[in-house]
Amino acid sequence: MKYAEDIQLYNVYYDYDNSMTYQTTTDNFDKWLEQHNSERAKELACGNSFGEEEHENKECICYESADEFVVKDASLILFEKEEVNE
């Protein structure tokens, strides 16, 4: 079992024009980015659904790359120890 203090979390910021905007806190940036891009593909008006050829080559505006984000360690402060189920 993992304890909450054993979980490594990261704050994710979108870095645009020297201005960082908080996006989320996650334990896995790569999985979050994949999910984020999947949701963007559904929402943006490029006209393609996720999985079509344009999206598969990741050249569509729906994709944001990892270098567009700043990822920083998050501090988690717990006052009571409770087990976290895996």
pLDDT at 60 over 80: no
Within a domain: residue 86? Answer: no
Q: Please say if the pLDDT value at position 72 is more than 70.
A: yes
Expressed as residue numbers, the domain containing 16 is 2-77
Whether 79 and 14 have beta carbons less than 8 Å apart is answered as no
**pLDDT at residue 77 greater than cutoff 70:** yes
- Judge whether 52 lies within some domain: yes
Q: Pick the more confident residue, 26 or 46.
A: 26
What is the C-alpha separation between 31 and 11, in angstroms, rounded?
14
Do the domain assignments include residue 85? no
Residue 6 belongs to some domain of the structure: yes
**Total number of domains constituting the chain:** 1
Judge whether 83 lies within some domain: no
Who wins on pLDDT, 81 or 56?
Answer: 81
pTM: 0.69
- Residue from 10, 45, 6 nearest 25 by CA: 10
Q: Does residue 41 lie within any of the structural domains?
A: yes
Other CB atoms within 10 Å distance of the CB of residue 13: 16
